[in-house]
Amino acid sequence: MVTLENARKIIAAAERKANELGQPMNIAVADTGGNLVAHVRMDGAWLGSIDIAINKAFTSRAFDISTQDLGKNSQPGQQFFGIHASNHGRVMIFAGGVPLRRAGKVVGAVGVSGGSGEQDQSVAEAGARAFE
């Protein structure tokens, strides 16, 4: 289970990494059902990235995979090509969504948006490490 207290720790760790990178981010944490537990839009983070961060967290939990890995498998000719059109367009297929695991089981996810894919992934991973 991902509690609000857990989400706050995840977001704080992700914010520290985003500050280190000098890139304001939107950071979202979802629970086992893919539902939003908490979201933070850092000062100066893009408004358009709010939904993207939330949907990255949803996607990562819905498929129990990082959105970065899902993206690699959703290119033309790959096994999940077209998946981004499912779930009413909520599926994100670029870096920044990372599952949260406890005892080997996915129990939630963190989604980050606002920088490059590499930055989003790095910030999401920093947040996920705070949950371990």
> Is 125 inside a domain boundary?
yes
Residue type (1 letter), 5: E
* 76 lies in some domain: no
Query: Does a structural domain hold residue 87?
Result: no
For the chain, 132 residues long, give each residue's pLDDT as a single digit of tens.
Answer: 999 999 999 999 999 999 999 999 999 999 999 999 999 999 999 999 999 999 999 999 999 999 999 999 999 999 889 999 998 999 999 999 999 999 999 999 999 999 999 999 999 999 999 997
Residue numbers of the domain that contains 104: 4-69+95-129
Number of domains into which the chain is organized: 1
CATH assignment at residue 115: 3.30.450.150
Instruction: Specify the pLDDT at position 132.
Output: 79
**CA distances from residue 57 to 8, 18, 76, 84 in whole angstroms, order as listed:** 15, 17, 24, 14
Global model pTM greater than 0.85:
yes
The answer to the question of residue 74 being in a domain is: no
